[in-house]
Amino acid sequence: MATLSIFGAQWGDEGKGKVIDRLAADVDYIVRYQGGANAGHTVVVGDKTYALHLIPSGILHPGRINVIANGVAIDPISFLGEVDGLIVRGVQINGDNLVLSSNAHVIFEHHKVVDGLAERWKGEGRIGTTGRGIGPAYADKASRTGLRIADLLDPERCKERLGAALAEKNALIKRVHEAEPLDLDSQLEKYSTLADRLRPFVADTGKLLRQAYRDGKSILFEGAQGVMLDIDHGTYPFVTSSNTGTGGIPAGTGFPPVWVEKSMGIAKAYCTRVGEGPFPSELTDEMGDHLCKVGREFGTTTGRARRAGWFDGVAARYAFELAGTNSWVMTKLDVLSGLGEIQVGVAYKHDGVRYEEYPAHLPCVEDVEVEYRTLPGWNEDISDVREWDDLPANAQGYVRALGDLVGAPVALVSVGPDRAAMVTCPK
């Protein structure tokens, strides 16, 4: 494998961190290309658990180069807090194994303030964001009023551009939201101190990655969130503000699209979603509670309880097709142990019409009825299984059935949070 895109195929939290950490053992570069500290990627190694938000999930492997490319929105406070937290735990981090793009946009305090105020303003229509300033920062990028890391590192430019940005944001904060404005001088002081600490990590990451490819290095692109949260292709407006699938890579890195050779999706054996928005296969009954409890479905970033439901074959097929998928990893199969029967969504029904393909129009997705197929469950605890042949026949059948349903073969099955808890599927 020379270049591989790994992306979430549902609504995020599919177990990307675990899978990427595992695959990172065999690659040279691990690259984040979109999103920001809204992501929460959990990696479990033995008795240690790491929650990564901005730092790529290859950081626990010495000798790998971890890149945060231009498409990521970087909150310097979050970034440096994460760096410090990892160093305290004995992880080696410096400008050689962790590199930040000079062209990545910066999330400032006002972005986080506006994120919270905008959610309050929306009331019932709120998105349920992570409050990390993601939407406001990407909005400023698109309106060309944002600051990039290079601007932050240049005191004159920072003063000028942050001054202009804050003047506009303070008007919004004060006049529309009737909240407390931010003081420019104290913001400049705070962020100039942070800038000094960021400096050793900053480089031209596009150039770095293109050169790495020419040198024959292997590169893994780490998607955050999931395709159903994609700003263009997800359940808009209940989405995040970036392109979350393989399509986000070229713009978010400066790496030519034709150099991305393979694409691997990650999906849970069931579904979860955190925050507001349509979720056709959601279970609001005891079964939903059971999946949340056994799967420990609490957000890595906000600690919020996730919503749970059955595997949605319609949404997954759509996500795999959009992102271009050679194969996928099914995570959390262990969570389904002990269920007599398991339901799998195979089609949507709305106004008398049956959809096997995901309907692009949201109001329809909001009130579809899901048509399920029932598959037999298994009782055995499979969390210690490491070989395909040791999985119960019904668990093997479940994996095969979902591979057929979504039109892409399952390459690996994850059966526990630990790095080692993985089973390779036969071809």
Tell me which residues touch Mg ion (CB under 5 A): 13, 40, 300
Select 40 or 295, whichever has its Cβ closest to Mg ion.
40
Query: Tokens at residue 116, please?
Result: 């919270």
By a kind-dependent CB cut-off of 5 to 8 A, residue 416 interacts, out of ligand GDP, Mg ion, ligand IMO, none, with ligand GDP
Nearest distance in Å: CB 383, ligand GDP: 7
Q: Does 130 bind ligand GDP (CB under 6 A)?
A: no
Given the DSSP bridges, would you call strands 65-68 and 307-309 parallel, antiparallel or unpaired?
unpaired
Q: Provide the annotated active-site residues.
A: 13, 41
Give CA–CA dist 346/402, Å, rounded.
10
Of 219, 255, 416, 419, the one binding ligand GDP (CB under 6 A) is: 416
Of 39, 166, 283, 329, the one binding ligand IMO (CB under 6 A) is: 39
Q: At 102, is the secondary structure helix, strand, or coil?
A: coil
Select 240 or 394, whichever has its Cβ closest to ligand IMO.
240
Interhelix angle 184-198/109-122, nearest 10 degrees:
120
Q: Does 152 bind ligand IMO (CB under 6 A)?
A: no
If you count DSSP H runs as helices and E runs as strands, how many of each does the chain have, helices first? 13, 20
Q: Which stretch binds ligand IMO (CB under 6 A): 36-44, 66-74, 258-266, 339-347?
A: 36-44
Q: At 344, is the secondary structure helix, strand, or coil?
A: strand
Q: Does 36 bind ligand GDP (CB under 6 A)?
A: no
Q: Does 234 bind ligand GDP (CB under 6 A)?
A: no
Q: Does 71 bind ligand IMO (CB under 6 A)?
A: no
H/E segment holding residue 114: helix 109-122
Nearest distance in Å: CB 132, ligand IMO: 5
Q: Does 9 bind ligand IMO (CB under 6 A)?
A: no
Select 233 or 306, whichever has its Cβ closest to ligand GDP.
306
CA 36, 37, 38 angle in degrees (round to 5)?
90
Give the residue among 278, 274, 324 at the shortest CA–CA distance from 304: 274
203 close to 99: Cβ distance less than 8 angstroms = yes
330 close to 414: Cβ distance less than 8 angstroms = yes
Considering CB under 6 A, how many residues would be counted as binding ligand IMO?
23
Of 162, 198, 224, 267, the one binding ligand IMO (CB under 6 A) is: 224
Give the residue among 309, 295, 310, 320 at the shortest CA–CA distance from 374: 310
By a kind-dependent CB cut-off of 5 to 8 A, residue 128 interacts, out of Mg ion, ligand GDP, ligand IMO, none, with ligand IMO
Of 70, 78, 205, 240, the one binding ligand IMO (CB under 6 A) is: 240
Between residue 257 and residue 276, which ones bind ligand IMO under the rule CB under 6 A? 274-275
Q: To 10 degrees, the CA torsion angle through 385, 390, 393, 398?
A: 40
Give CA–CA dist 358/345, Å, rounded.
12
Q: Does 44 bind ligand GDP (CB under 6 A)?
A: yes
Give CA–CA dist 230/238, Å, rounded.
9
325 close to 403: Cβ distance less than 8 angstroms = no
Q: Does 40 bind ligand IMO (CB under 6 A)?
A: yes
Residue with tokens 């409890």: 293
Query: Tokens at residue 352, please?
Result: 């008398």
Nearest distance in Å: CB 69, ligand GDP: 18
Residue with tokens 């962790």: 98
Q: Catalog residues that contact ligand IMO under the rule CB under 6 A.
A: 8, 12-13, 38-41, 127-130, 132, 134-135, 224-226, 229, 240-241, 274-275, 300
Q: Catalog residues that contact ligand GDP under the rule CB under 6 A.
A: 8, 12-18, 40-42, 44, 295-296, 300, 331-332, 334-335, 414-417, 421
